[in-house]
Structure 1
Amino acid sequence: METARSDSGLERLPTEAWDPAGANLDLRSTAELVEAMNEADAEVPRAVARARDELVAAIDAIAARLADGGRLVYAGAGTSGRLALVDAVECQSTFGLPPGRVVALVAGGAEASATAQEHAEDDAAAGAEDVAALDPTAKDAVVALSASGRTPYVLGALEEASAVGALTVAVTCVEGSPLGALADHEVAVVVGGELIAGSTRLKAGTAQKLVLNAISTISMVRLGKTFGNLMVDVVATNEKLRERVRAIVRNATGAPAERVHTALEASGGDAKLAIVMLELGVDARTARARLDGAGGVVRRALEP
């Protein structure tokens, strides 16, 4: 759960709302509590849908920065920061991005305890310093996450990013927040009060996870990191993922297992290369030249 300065009027925010109907929550049966949580969670996708236009604009702007060689930098505190860290790490294995292209800054540091991270969210200077340490440029996109839209660490991070001309995006669960006022794009997913009053790891956290999923996934689709809905840039670091790569190539080409195996052997396990080889009937060197000429995008490499 996020906190803010004691004089900030946090208790008046929608994310902090207390519903008197939940006063007997601890007296309900487990079945009733599961039903109540499911009903509350069902509100989140609708709230994300209401922020569709803002999210579309933010993603298009982020993808343009990434296509130009920039980085996607997340900044968050508490739950928001930990969710951002998960998304950033997954981009490396899922889409084959090198370390450093998607970065998560977490108040207090990713290795700190949850308690230490919660305490660190009040340090605006640390947010600015963490962003500055990355030497950001106008090519980069900085996405700041805060359910309340007023967490000092995140405000400091976005202010620093804005000062160097980086694209700035605010992801919040309230409208008209200080964070939103700083950003080039404000994605406000208003989910209202939580089942446990003020526990923004619940609906607010789920909303932020959905927005992060959309930002990273759709940006990668725009960059050609998929072929159709296949993860053609997945990094196969274990047997499960190697089997997934084989399935990806089979689904993309319709080739029998033996030909898929041969192509992957010749391509060094590179799904993109194997797909181009099989689809065009060429060797690995020719397929690599086609891919390089197409900016690594399979769809373009297969064009006549």
Structure 2
Amino acid sequence: MNKFNRLKTETRNPVSMEIDQMSTLEMLQVINQEDITVPLIIRDNLNQIAQAVDLIYEQLKEGGSLIYVGAGTSGRLGLLDAFECPPTFGVSPRMVRGVIAGGEKALLGAVEENEDAYEEGRLAIQENGITASDVVVGLSASGLTPFVLGALDEASNRKAKTMAIINNPNPDLAKKCDSVIVCETGPEVITGSTRMKAGTSQKLILNMISTSVMIKLGKVYQNLMVDVKPTNQKLINRSINIIAEATGESFEKAQETFLKTQDVKVSILMLKGKLNHSSAVKLLEETGGVIQAALNKIR
């Protein structure tokens, strides 16, 4: 039997066998009901996700990078998560990166044939200069994508940490990787259309991983994105609101301080710690940019 025929994501879903005969509302009810199962399946994988977060954090805090590798939907989801990290958490674009089979043209259209290119996956890791300080995360609904397997093999050869987020069990992959998250989302509403539940699960898991890692790196104070880069008016306004929320000061006072510092963290530390600009900057440098650690030193 073909190895792909054994995949649960490639089997027919009995709930949607007659979806082509349903009303619009009935179609949506079926899709919604299937989507509801995804977070519950993820909940069963929280221990594995936590281990992945801790592994990535240990690498990134020492200067390593996180690289997502995927093809098609999985590749685009990895890129999306990577693209959001610099503006949200103020990190370098090099810290979190995405690699997709087919390169840039895969962002503008389907190039499904590239996912079968094992050697291209290896080459992508070579071109990104992956080292032992990095983490490479393979994203694949099937757990069998040659491009992703090639990338993970090359990353392992370079002593990088490796992990996979997949939607079908793959014992061989589990033996190769430092961490594997198997989120068995089962048959899709449209048979084999893993952009649906499988893709949704990957997106939710990536959200959890990148967000939790950045929190551990001190990019969040309380539940505020204090490393946001104020590159437009909306984000400038958000930055001022964050300062006001974190310090209990008025919007006007927060704005006045932010206009002087152009830095959310420094502004918060100045207002909460009653410090001048240079002292706040120095203290943040001493504590690795972690606001709570800086405040603890004052107290």
Q: Which residue matches 1:174?
A: 168
Q: 2:55: which partner in 1?
A: 61
In the alignment, the residues of structure 2 paired with residue 98 and residue 23 of structure 1 have an alpha-carbon distance, to the nearest angstrom, of: 47
From 109, 113, 124, the counterpart of 1:114: 109
Cα separation, partners in 2 of 1:8 and 1:114, compared to 1, 3 Å: farther
TM-score of the aligned structures, taking structure 2 as reference length: 0.96
* Runs of 5+ consecutive residues of structure 2 not aligned to the other structure: none
**Counterpart position of 1:246:** 240
Aligned equivalents of 1:23 and 1:156: distance in 2? 36
Identity over aligned pairs, percent: 42
2:284 to 277, 291, 303: 291
What TM-score do you get using the length of structure 1 for normalisation? 0.95
Query: What CA deviation, in whole Å up to 9, does each residue of 1:205-258 have, x standing for no partner?
Result: 000001100110000000000001100001111111111111111110001122
Give 5+ residue unaligned stretches, structure 1.
1-6
- The alpha-carbon distance between structure 1 residues 151 and 8, as it changes in their structure 2 partners (threshold 3 A), is farther
Aligned-partner Cα distance in 2 for 1:103–1:21: 38
Q: Tell me, what secondary structure is at the counterpart of 2:184?
A: coil
Measured after TM superposition, the shift of residue 161 of structure 1 is 0.5
2:87 maps to which of 89, 93, 97: 93
**For 1:166-208, what per-residue CA distance to the aligned partner results, in whole angstroms no more than 9, with x for missing partners?**
1101100112354333211010001100000100000000000
Contact 1:149 1:180 in 2 (8 A): no
1:24 equivalent in structure 2 = 18
Alpha-carbon distance, 1:115 to partner: 2.2
Measure, in 1, the Cα distance between the counterparts of 2:271 and 2:150: 51
Aligned runs of 1:1-304 on 2, under 5 Å? 8-112=2-106, 113-116=108-111, 118-268=112-262, 270-303=263-296, 304=299
The answer (yes or no) to whether the contact 1:40–1:203 under 8 Å persists in 2 is: yes
Supply the distance in 2 between the matched residues of 1:111 and 1:233 (Cα, whole angstroms).
32
The change in CA–CA distance for 1:227 and 1:206 in structure 2 (over 3 A counts) is: same
Q: Report the RMSD for the aligned CA atoms in angstroms.
A: 1.2
On the 8 A contact 2:16/2:30 being kept in 1, the answer is no
Which residue identity lines up with residue 276 of structure 1 in the other structure?
L
* Partner Cα separation in structure 2 for residue 247 and residue 185 of structure 1: 39
**Distance (whole Å) between structure 1 residues aligned to residue 139 and residue 34 of structure 2:** 21
Distance 1:110 1:179 in 2: 27
In the TM superposition, what is the alpha-carbon distance from 1:8 to its structure 2 partner? 4.4
